[in-house]
Amino acid sequence: MFKKDILIISTADWDNPIKTNKQYVAKELANLGHRILYVESLGMRKIQIGKRDFKRIIKRIINMTFIVKKKDRNIWVISPLLFPGATTKLIIYINKIILNLNILIARKFLNFKNDCLWTYNPITCLYINIKKFKTSVYHAVDSIEHQPFMPKQLINQEEKKLAHSVDEIFATSQSIFKKLSQYNKKTQFFGNVCDFDHFAKAPKLRLKKIPNDIKKIKKPIVGFIGSISEYKLDYNLISSVANKLKYVNFVFIGPTHDSINKNKLKQLQEIDNIFLLGYRNYELLPNYCAYFDIAWLPIVHNNYTDSMFPMKFFEYLAAGLPVISTMISSLKDYGDYVSLSNDDNEIVNQITFLLKSENNNIKKRQNLARLNTYKKRTKLMLKNLNL
């Protein structure tokens, strides 16, 4: 028997190659017996002329053939075809009609109740009547107004309305918590967590299970997994450290389509000991981690990253890896588990030291990661919502 019906308003498509809080939380809620209606990205970002956005539009049109698609146990997805980057009243009004019609049809089809609204989208109030739901939560995982091509003024304005309107706010960084708690006293901090069971496989994987593309690269290897773009990663720092440690190879696994400055990306690729392997299937990520000697978070400093809690941190720890990161405020409390520095020479020294050290802290790292899982965090969130 189903517990509650939960409408999730996401900022990511369900099949996005980089899995985020939205998909993980939806799966955990479904595993706990709740029914999920997952609404894919509403297209806040202004459309860019290019293959990626063109493919997304074509995919949306194809997906509209089936308004409601079952993607997993207790999870259904809808992909409303809206005008992207809407900022004018008329286009927003048209989008609102289209979105609510899609949700209405899906609700009728699934006999879906208005038990709970769980939104990740800061402009939700423009499109959804929150008062219709018995419970409402804003799960604030990013300061997306600082992402490229986003309507910053509209997002800031609507996020305040949303914060005032919902029953609860869950913030994944202290920076976001500080910003939103001034609008809603029921704001709580729940940092990012990990899929522990998945990444904890890494230390036990044998050499024969290491993918050939990384096995061909000479060790030692400093690795990164995630989206590769200059608004998330410090390309200059990466280049400097790689050039100073020619005997170390730096491997980056993840899509590069978010990178705006293709010339800078090309300059990285031209450095002999930097390898951009591209996107790899989620199921294989522990296999790549198993071949890393050190995990790296070379995060650039900007308004977006200064309010983030990197998802990869606990995933690296679950894989048993020593972690080096730039000085991100959300990681300052984890000084026993991560080496923090913004200085390239200091990072070079940290890498050199860790490569000489015996990797005997695997259990300690995994024990911390084990305490920070999606299952545990989701249960705590539901307890706060009385669901």
Average pLDDT over the chain, rounded to an integer: 92
Cα 272 versus chain centre, distance? 29
Per CATH, the number for 196-370 is: 3.40.50.2000
Low-confidence ranges of the chain (pLDDT < 50): none
CATH H superfamily, domain 5-193+373-385: Glycogen Phosphorylase B; (3.40.50.2000)
pLDDT single digits (tens) 96-135: 999 999 999 999 999 999 999 999 999 999 999 999 999 9
pLDDT single digits (tens) 35-76: 999 999 998 877 655 555 556 555 555 555 558 999 999 999
Q: For residue 174, give the nearest of 320, 334, 325, 321 by alpha carbon.
A: 334
pLDDT at 210: 94
242 class by beta-carbon count within 10 Å (0-12 exposed, 13-18 middle, 19+ buried) = buried
pLDDT at 54: 53
171: which strand partners? Answer: 140, 189
Give the start-to-end residue ranges of the domains of the chain. 5-193+373-385, 196-370
pLDDT at 83: 87
Helix (H) or strand (E) holding 289: helix 285-289
pLDDT at 179: 95
